[in-house]
């Protein structure tokens, strides 16, 4: 929802000053409009004040909230734990293999999965992508998993633990309500306020 300029125009100069203070918690659109209204009313700003307000507007814009559900955090935690287990499994395998190409591939895989975990923690919708990767990886790893459980129990258990954690991450991502996922970045603050029973328009101002 956009900030209504007509609402801000009804405020006094003193009230508008609250929108341009360094410690303001108002959204950047409101700060910008309040600044423009004050200038039209004849309020003069020094170059330092103007720079400070412009910096505040841009700085606040950079900090716009991305919708992050608690399941995003839980899912990313599962992924990070699976990476830790994978590293342990990898270190155990080093003693029995001299395949340097395999080591390099594992290193790249850890980085790739770590990036996915980070993006999920930032609220990115990657559940379908993660599900496809999981299924493809599972089809290719089942024989090796069975072999490890049979001949190298510790390695097999660790690999199975990774698989379970990754599956849990996917499940938690799919459990995020569609209503939440339909909220775009600019509406997230309003959604939070409305969920707490606050007035939507006031939360945007």
pLDDT at 185: 47
Let me know how many helices (H) and strands (E) the chain has, helices first: 11, 0
Say which residue, 204 or 176, is predicted with more confidence. 176
pLDDT at 52: 83
Summarize pLDDT for 140-150 with one digit per residue, the tens: 888 888 888 89
pLDDT over 70 percentage in the chain: 77
Q: How confident is the model at residue 196 (pLDDT cuts 50, 70, 90)?
A: very low
* 15 has pLDDT over 60: yes
Q: How far apart, in whole angstroms, are the C-alpha atoms of residue 151 and residue 148?
A: 5
């Amino acid at each position: 929802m956009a900030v209504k300029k007509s609402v801000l125009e009804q405020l006094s100069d003193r009230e508008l000053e609250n929108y341009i203070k360094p410690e303001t918690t108002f959204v950047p659109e409101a700060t910008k409009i309040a600044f423009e209204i004050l200038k039209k009313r004849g309020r003069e700003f020094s170059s330092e004040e103007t720079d400070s307000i412009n910096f505040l507007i841009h700085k606040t814009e950079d900090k716009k909230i991305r919708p992050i559900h608690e399941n995003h955090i839980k899912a990313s935690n599962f992924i990070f734990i699976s990476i830790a287990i994978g590293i342990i499994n990898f270190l155990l395998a080093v003693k029995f293999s001299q395949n340097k190409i395999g080591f390099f591939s594992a290193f790249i895989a850890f980085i790739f999965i770590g990036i996915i975990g980070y993006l999920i923690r930032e609220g990115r919708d990657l559940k379908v992508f993660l599900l496809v990767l999981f299924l493809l990886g599972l089809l290719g790893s089942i024989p090796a998993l069975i072999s490890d459980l049979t001949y190298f129990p510790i390695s097999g258990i660790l690999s199975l633990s990774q698989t379970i954690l990754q599956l849990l991450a996917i499940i938690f991502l799919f459990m995020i309500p569609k209503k939440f996922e339909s909220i775009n970045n600019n509406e997230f603050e309003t959604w939070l306020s409305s969920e707490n029973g606050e007035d939507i328009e006031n939360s945007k101002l």
